[in-house]
Structures are given as C-alpha cells and as structure tokens.
C-alpha cells in the first residue's frame, strides 16, 4: 500500500463509524486516508465480537440506510442468513439487530474502502496532531517509526475521542463508565442437560468466598448467576467494572482483567457436572468497550432530546435504540424503551468539537450526555454519523470551507445521493 504525504481527509479508526466515513469521503472525491491501529476493519463489530448491529429500523420503517447498511446487508447475503422481519415493531428491540459473520464483514469493509479509492494504513496509530495552515500535520506511529501526513480535515472515529484529545478538543470523561464485556465462544456441553440451580448455587458460594467475581458470567450484581453465559455459550454476558479504557494503560488493565475473569470462570465451570468437557473455542481479540469519553460539541444530544425525538435544522441522521445503560449495581442494566413513534436524530453540531476547526468526530464519542449516549452508541447510528462526517469532511475540503460553514442543505443532498436517510426538517 502506497501512502502519500498529504490528503484532503484523514479518518482515524476503521470501525463502525470509520469505514463509512472513509468510503463516503472518497466517493465524494476527496483524497482520503483511513488509519487503523489493528489488523482488521470493523472495530467492535469484528474485533470485540459484537456482531449484531442495530438498529436500522423503527416502528416498521427503515430509518438508517447508506454505506453501513449496505455492508451489513451484503454480509447477510454472502452468508445466506435471513434478515429479521422489519415490517412491524418486534416483541424485543434486539430482535431487529442483524447478525453478521465478523470475518466476512471485515473482508467486505476492506473491499468497500479500497473500491472507494481511499488509501488504507493498518497497524498505525496517531502520535500527535498539530494545526498547520488550514489543516493538520498528523504524526503517525508506524511499525518502522514515525512519519508525517498532512490533511485538510481530520475525522476521529476511534470510539474514544483519542485524536480529538490530541488536537486539543475538550473531552467529557464520566466519573463512572459502563462496564466492558469480553466475548468468547464456549462448547463441549449440552445446556438443556445441566442442573442450573446446582451450578448457580455453587457459583454464588464461590462469589461469596471471593474466588469468582459476581459478574464473571452475567450482568446481575444482586443475584449472581452463570446461566446466561452457559445458555449463550459465552457471548455478551459478563461485565468488567471500574476501568475507563481510554488510554493504552487502562486498555491493558481491561484486557488482562477480561482474560483473568474468563480463566477463573473456566476453571470453576469445568468442576461442575455436565461441564467436564467444556471448551473455550474462541476468544475475541479485544474486550468490548461500551463507554470511555465523548467530545464537548457545539451541540450536545441530551436524554430529553433523544427520548422526545427532537429534530434539529441540521440533523444528519436518525438514531433508534432504548436508553441502555449498563451499570455496576442492581441487575446491571437500566433499559428504557422509547415511546411509540419516537425516532431520535443527531445534529451536525454533535460531530463538531467546540473551538477546534477542521476536526470532526463520529461514532460513539459524539457529543451526548451519558443516557443519550447509552442509546446512540449502537452500531447503526455510529455508521450513519460516520457517513455524515465523511461527507461533511469531503465537502469542506473540496470547497475550501471550514466544516461548520458548509451549508446543511449541501450535506443533505450529498448524503441522500449516496443512499443515506437524512431526517426531514
């Protein structure tokens, strides 16, 4: 892969938001570079095993489409997996999430990025960003040392607002963050044949004795249980509390805590009747992180905005999910459904850090309060904000305008022409 010394747009982070951002920017004819710290695109959807993106539909109609949706649809088609029925509200919101195969999704992301004409650099992090003329000088940390790349507009899709922080943007870092989850895949037993009451009883005794953590195998802190973990053969079931994984140091603590918990749970379970041949088939390479930081944006989506379905004059996309705050007390989850008919939206100002020009943010770290963020952090919304940020970055670069000065109508036209659904204003 050849990398030039300068681009119109540099997108940092090749996850749910970053891939649509880079693809949209390049399809709008901006010279675009996508940087990713790991070896695989897709972010949390692939590397952390959260392979059930949602929600693209609300109340029986599609509310998010475009580049992310096309990739999700293509992944389903390649695997021949059926789509959920979207024609009416489901009994439970998660029933309209689309299950995707992570390796297939990652390969489709590779192809979409390359076909769009964007350049891609894996195994690369940003070490520093410095304002330079009407853009940025970006110092990359590559495997063989530092190198510099210039750009007009930077788009932070790291999920953690890492690049925005380096650029001097004000960040909102909550005192307590939602717990993380280490997803794995277990086999070697027949769930239906297990005596769950006996296993849970033994699990609680081990928790009381301090040899297991209460959320090693489930979310409930009041009544610890391992039944979800066993029923789902691993999956999205444990909680790791008390680590804000925004930095490399804390991220290291998190990965170690996740694997430590899994090992002690595995050792315990293998002593239980019916689990003697339990196997851990697959461990996702990274812990799934729900929350670290958001930017202080020109607009901030509050929980009142979200639950009332507020539309701004410059809304760039819809979002749809219950308020879904994972917690360190009670049953581990505060989940509140939206009222019938409510479809929230995201304003352009939530993607724009205050007082830092030529910088955009997309994905889960856009400007939002904690409860609104617990809903809009989901993958469909991240994909939609990514596409919007990529389009806005490309327009600003091609017109030589500051991102905040690009007319909302121009962005709306571009996104619509590229298949996105933009809220009616």
- Positions that interact with ligand FAD (CB under 6 A): 12-18, 35-38, 43-45, 48, 50, 52-54, 97, 125-126, 157-160, 162, 181, 236, 288-290, 363-364, 377-380, 382
Quick one: 147 or 204, whose CB is closer to ligand FAD? Answer: 147
**Which two structure tokens, joined as six digits, stand for 86?**
């979207």
* Cα-based distances in Å from 188 to 18, 137, 269: 37, 52, 12
DSSP character string of 193-205: GS-HHHHHHHHHH
Query: Kind and range of the H or E element at 359?
Result: strand 359-361
**Minimal distance in Å, beta carbon 377 to ligand FAD?**
4
Beta bridge partners of 301: 368
**Which two structure tokens, joined as six digits, stand for 131?**
């304002």
**Minimal distance in Å, beta carbon 324 to ligand FAD?**
8
**Minimal distance in Å, beta carbon 156 to ligand FAD?**
9
Quick one: 70 or 401, whose CB is closer to ligand FAD? Answer: 70
* Cα-based distances in Å from 309 to 65, 85, 336, 385, 423: 18, 24, 14, 17, 11
Measured in whole angstroms, the distance separating CA 410 from the mean position of its chain's CA atoms is 27
**Minimal distance in Å, beta carbon 181 to ligand FAD?**
4
Distance in angstroms (rounded) separating the CA atoms of residues 342 and 345: 10
**Minimal distance in Å, beta carbon 3 to ligand FAD?**
14
Quick one: 97 or 225, whose CB is closer to ligand FAD? Answer: 97
Quick one: 126 or 275, whose CB is closer to ligand FAD? Answer: 126
**Minimal distance in Å, beta carbon 400 to ligand FAD?**
27
Quick one: 274 or 322, whose CB is closer to ligand FAD? Answer: 322
**Minimal distance in Å, beta carbon 401 to ligand FAD?**
26
Quick one: 181 or 225, whose CB is closer to ligand FAD? Answer: 181
CB 167, CB 157: distance < 8 Å: no
Quote the strand ranges of 69-183, DSSP E: 119-121, 125-132, 135-142, 145-156, 171-172
**Which two structure tokens, joined as six digits, stand for 342?**
């409510």
Quick one: 166 or 226, whose CB is closer to ligand FAD? Answer: 166
**Minimal distance in Å, beta carbon 399 to ligand FAD?**
26
Distance in angstroms (rounded) separating the CA atoms of residues 85 and 298: 38
Is the torsion defined by CA of 70, 364, 129, 299 positive or negative? positive
**Minimal distance in Å, beta carbon 272 to ligand FAD?**
25
Quick one: 38 or 332, whose CB is closer to ligand FAD? Answer: 38
Residue nearest to ligand FAD (CB): 15
Question: Exposed, middle or buried by CB within 10 Å (0-12, 13-18, 19+), for 205?
Answer: exposed
Distance in angstroms (rounded) separating the CA atoms of residues 23 and 118: 7
Quick one: 43 or 224, whose CB is closer to ligand FAD? Answer: 43
Buried b (16+ CB within 10 A) or exposed e, 179-189: bbbbbbebeeb
């Amino acid at each position: 892969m050849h990398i030039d010394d300068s681009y119109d747009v540099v997108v940092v982070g090749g996850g749910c938001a970053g891939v649509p951002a880079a693809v949209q920017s390049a399809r709008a004819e901006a010279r675009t570079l996508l940087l990713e710290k790991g070896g695989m695109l897709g972010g949390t959807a692939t590397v952390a095993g959260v392979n059930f993106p949602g929600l693209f539909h609300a109340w029986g109609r599609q509310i998010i489409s475009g580049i992310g949706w096309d990739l999700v649809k293509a992944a389903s088609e390649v695997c021949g997996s059926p789509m959920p029925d979207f024609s009416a509200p489901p009994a439970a919101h998660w029933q309209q999430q689309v299950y995707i195969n992570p390796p297939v999704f990652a390969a489709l992301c590779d192809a979409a990025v390359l076909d769009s004409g964007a350049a891609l650099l894996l195994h690369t992090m940003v070490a520093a960003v410095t304002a330079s003329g009407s853009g940025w000088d970006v110092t990359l940390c590559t495997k063989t040392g530092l190198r510099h790349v210039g750009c007009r507009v930077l788009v932070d899709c790291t999920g953690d607002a890492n690049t925005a922080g380096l650029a001097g943007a004000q960040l909102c870092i909550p005192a307590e963050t939602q717990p993380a989850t280490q997803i794995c895949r277990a086999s070697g037993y027949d769930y239906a044949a297990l005596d769950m009451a006996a296993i849970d009883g033994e699990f609680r005794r081990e928790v009381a004795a301090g040899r297991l953590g209460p959320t090693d195998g489930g979310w409930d802190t009041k009544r610890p249980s391992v039944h979800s973990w066993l029923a789902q053969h691993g999956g999205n079931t444990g909680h790791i509390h008390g680590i804000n994984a925004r930095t490399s140091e804390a991220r290291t603590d998190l990965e170690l805590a996740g694997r430590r918990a899994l090992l002690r749970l595995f050792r315990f379970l293998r002593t239980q009747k019916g689990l003697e041949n339990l196997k851990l088939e697959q461990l996702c390479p990274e812990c799934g992180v729900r929350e670290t930081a958001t930017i202080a944006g020109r607009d901030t989506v509050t929980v009142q905005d979200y639950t009332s379905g507020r539309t701004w004059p410059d809304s760039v996309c819809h979002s749809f999910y219950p308020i879904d705050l994972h917690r360190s007390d009670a049953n581990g989850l505060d989940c509140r459904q939206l009222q019938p008919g409510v479809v929230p939206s995201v304003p352009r100002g939530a993607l724009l850090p205050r007082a830092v020009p030529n910088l955009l943010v997309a994905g889960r770290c856009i400007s939002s309060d904690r409860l609104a963020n617990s809903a809009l952090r989901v993958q469909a919304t991240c994909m939609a904000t990514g596409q919007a940020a990529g389009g806005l970055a490309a327009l600003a670069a091609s017109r030589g305008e500051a991102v905040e000065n690009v007319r909302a109508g121009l962005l709306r036209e571009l996104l619509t022409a590229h298949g996105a659904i933009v809220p009616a204003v």
